[in-house]
A and B are shown apart, each in its own frame.
Chain A
Amino acid sequence: MMEPGLYHLLFISAALFFIGVFGFFTRRNLITMLMSIELVLNSVNLNFIAFNKYLWPNRLDGLFFSIFVIAIAAAEAAVAIAIIINLYRSHQSIDVENAEEMKF
């Protein structure tokens, strides 16, 4: 069994990225949209790791960066969930289409 190369990883991460974006565009449930964002972030992490491993193995920038990304993602998710919960309180739903009051 051959070992995966940079391009395999990049391909996967790109796929992840677009899956995430697609989910974000199409899903109506706010939580799901949040999860799709996580996909995007993870694709980024994958990028960092891959670049770090295959292109610039002698520095750890990528590695560290992905760690920080994970942390930030957690924080973001926390606040987002809180906001969504509050939204649920006021709207009695977490469907994004019910929160389109302000427009134009």
Chain B
Amino acid sequence: MNDLLQIRVLQVLPLGWDLGWALILIPLLPLAGFLLLGLFGRKYLQRSSGILATLLLLSSTVLSLYTAYGYFFEFGKVDGIYQKIIPFQFTWLQFSPGVSIDMGVILDPISVMMLVVVSFISLMVHLYSLAYMKGEERFPTYFAFLGLFTFSMLGLVMSSNIFQMYFFWELVGVSSFLLIGYYYDRPSAVAACKKAFIVTRFADLGFLIGILVLAFYAGTLDFNTLIQRLTSTSAPEFQAAIASSFLGVSALTWALVLVFIGGAGKSAMFPLHIWLPDAMEGPTPVSALIHAATMVVAGVFLVARLFPVFSMSPPALDVVAYTGIFSALFAALIACTQTDIKRVLAYSTMSQIGFMMFALGVSGWGGENGLGFTASMFHLFTHAMFKALLFLGAGSVIHFIHSNEMKDMGGLRKYLPVTHITFLIACLAISGVPPFAGFFSKEEILLAAFNHNPAIYWTALITSGLTAFYMFRLYFSVFWNKEATVHGEHHGEGGFAMMLPLVLLAAGAAFAGFIPFGNFVSTDGKPLESAFHLQFSIAPVLLGLAGIFTAMWLYKKQNDRPASIAASLSGFYKAAYHKFYMDELYLFITKKILFNLIGRPAAWFDKNVVDGMVIGAGNTTQAISEKIKQFQSGKVQQYAIYFLAGVIGLAVLFIYIWK
């Protein structure tokens, strides 16, 4: 039925870079893996499934690197500006003239950058999982789900149409749901995956309504057109979106805030972050891939994608900024108190994403103002590296010790040398110690904040100090602290398959910072010279080091200082330890309000009132028929009386009353 599906080629790529098929293959290869393993994995591919999936992903990684090279260095730049290129598109679902879901591919700096990140990290995780998940009964299923996730994530970053993005957005959510619930027979895992899905779903509600509003005003769902129409102050669409307001806030702001809610849900911004820590129930590599490197930054990516429109509405940007910075601090505080190593990492992820968010929030449009944008994307890039690395490292620790609890760990540096080194590198990177990757990106963010909003800047500064502290708290208490208590035989670091990703990522974490990121990614596509002001960098670095040394002082050797400190600020500590009681709050809302105050009454009403009416009607009829049976008395004379009464009644009625 080719008359249905017309693929429109919008921009023909220059000769030699006709990437059409490559571009389609990048997401489709993982999908193929998913279908293959999902359908036949359990029966035929029990052993080989992992290799197969990894090879598929390897090829799509190669393709995306190829694409990235082509875009950044060959054809992407037209007279000094990186273009938004849409090689092709086809109408997937036509709603009304102009408004349609088009499935297409968009190439611009951020999407290409994300392509690289996603495929690369995913490849690493695949490799790692080969060893980590060995011997699992549902080994093929696991890789199938990974494939599904990678497909959706790649599709998400390449989306050329906001509804297409929503499409993959949901798919990402589901694959995350499936992977968190991978150990489906653990009640905790089941609860976690349900929680993750429902919370993000709730946020997506905002995204959806936001899309509806945007589509209504812009009259299109296509990103480019939408951005054009809503950014040129002269365009009638823009006028309409500004003019019409609800509760004194312009429709445009409403739409953007709603969309941002969606992003906040995925990116675990306060107060929608509660699913992220629980999501650690999933296999550790999954946490590395989904809940550290890629999916959780989808929210950041969404805001970045719509950034031109955001920049037209300062209120919306403020919302982004303040949510971001608050989440960053909030998470950092909690992270200092957690004892489950994965949860610490989870909260640090939340905190780092907070950095990216408020970086976007403080950014402006074009030139130097756009620093925040660049910084945010840069941090996204570096963070992907070192956070994935941290998780994988944590993975091999857990793999080794069979526990998530810090108190079971300590002094592992002898047993896990590679892990130890790479983990250290990652910690340095995230703490923003030069010359590691995190340093550069964080500096830019802080700089942008400094230029824009001092309050945010100072908070960010403190937070980065905290970051250093809790990361090294983790590092020391895992690798130093008390002597390791390793019982029985142990299988070192899980061999090559597990170490190679660590090393590669460590390299990334170490050197990614030297990439002149501004040259590639900026608000307006023009190269942005990210200058270094040494004196500016002093404060954060010092703070970071301070954090590190405090951690060392507290946790390098086993001692009772931490306990005493915790005791000294008991109330606050307790609150932070209990994640400021957010879960309890949610529990209250759902259980008490949603179920007891709405669901139960609804069910009761249906059972007793609505149904009751129907039953009642039946019973009334029966009752009446019981009542009037005297009418038929069996006495022939009464029959005759009724007869005559009827006749006379009719006669009277029609002679006198009803003429």
Contact = CB atoms under 8 A, between A and B. Distances in A.
Interface stretch (B397-405, B552-560, B615-623, B637-645): B637-645
Interface string B34-51: 000000000000000000
A101 interface: yes
A96 B637 contact: yes
A103 B637 contact: no
A103 B640 contact: no
Nearest to A26: B637
B255 to A, nearest CB: 71
Interface in A80-104: 96-97, 99-104
Interface string B413-426: 00000000000000
A103 B632 contact: yes
B644 A100 contact: no
B378 to A, nearest CB: 92
B491 interface: no
B635 A100 contact: yes
Contacts of A103: 632-634
Contacts of A102: 634
Contacts of A21: 640, 644
A97 B641 CA distance: 15
Interface in B377-414: none
B533 interface: no
Interface string B19-35: 00000000000000000
A21 B644 CA distance: 9
Given A96-B635, A96-B636, A97-B635, A104 B629 contact: yes
B632 A24 contact: no
Nearest to A103: B634
A104 B634 contact: yes
B635 A25 contact: no
B622 to A, nearest CB: 14
B625 to A, nearest CB: 10
B463 to A, nearest CB: 87
Contacts of B644: 21
Interface residues of A, number: 13
A76 B277 CA distance: 99
A100 B632 CA distance: 11
A104 B627 CA distance: 11
A24 B640 contact: yes
B634 A101 contact: yes
A100 B641 contact: no
B632 A104 contact: yes
Contacts of A26: 637
A25 B640 contact: yes
Interface in A50-96: 96
A24 B644 CA distance: 11
Contacts of B636: 96, 99
Contacts of B640: 21, 24-25
Contacts of B641: 25
A21 B637 CA distance: 10
A99 B639 CA distance: 14
Contacts of A25: 637, 640-641
Contacts of A100: 633-635
A102 B632 CA distance: 9
Interface string A17-59: 0000100111000000100000000000000000000000000
A71 to B, nearest CB: 23
A101 B633 CA distance: 10
Contacts of B634: 100-104
A94 to B, nearest CB: 13
Nearest to B637: A25
A24 B633 contact: no
Q: Which of A24, A33, A99, A104 has the most CB of B within 10 A?
A: A104
Interface in B69-103: none
Contacts of A99: 636
B629 A24 contact: no
A9 B624 CA distance: 47
- Counting chain A CB atoms within 10 Å of each CB, which of B632, B637, B644 scores highest? B637
Nearest to B638: A25
B635 A24 contact: no
A25 B637 CA distance: 5
Contacts of B637: 24-26, 33, 96
Nearest to A33: B637
A100 B638 CA distance: 11
A78 B635 CA distance: 23
B466 to A, nearest CB: 88
Interface string B634-659: 11110011001000000000000000
A63 to B, nearest CB: 26
A72 to B, nearest CB: 19
A33 to B, nearest CB: 8
A83 to B, nearest CB: 12
Nearest to B629: A104
A21 B635 CA distance: 15
A62 B306 CA distance: 103
A7 B331 CA distance: 111
Nearest to B631: A104
A5 B653 CA distance: 31
B324 to A, nearest CB: 81
Contacts of B633: 100, 103
A104 B635 CA distance: 10
A96 B634 CA distance: 10
A25 B644 CA distance: 10
A2 B634 CA distance: 49
Nearest to B628: A104
A97 B632 CA distance: 15
Contacts of B632: 103-104
A45 B427 CA distance: 124
Nearest to A104: B629
A50 to B, nearest CB: 21
A104 B641 CA distance: 17
B464 to A, nearest CB: 92
B637 to A, nearest CB: 5
Contacts of A96: 635-637
B624 to A, nearest CB: 14
9 contacts: A21-B644, A25-B640, A26-B637, A96-B637, A100-B634, A103-B632, A103-B634, A104-B632, A104-B634
Given A100-B634, A103-B632, A104-B629, 19 more contacts: A21-B640, A24-B637, A24-B640, A25-B637, A25-B640, A26-B637, A33-B637, A96-B636, A96-B637, A97-B635, A99-B636, A100-B633, A100-B635, A101-B634, A102-B634, A103-B633, A103-B634, A104-B632, A104-B634
A-B complex: 10 closest residue pairs judged by Cβ atoms: A103-B634, A100-B634, A104-B629, A25-B637, A104-B632, A100-B635, A102-B634, A25-B641, A103-B633, A103-B632
Interface of B: 629, 632-637, 640-641, 644
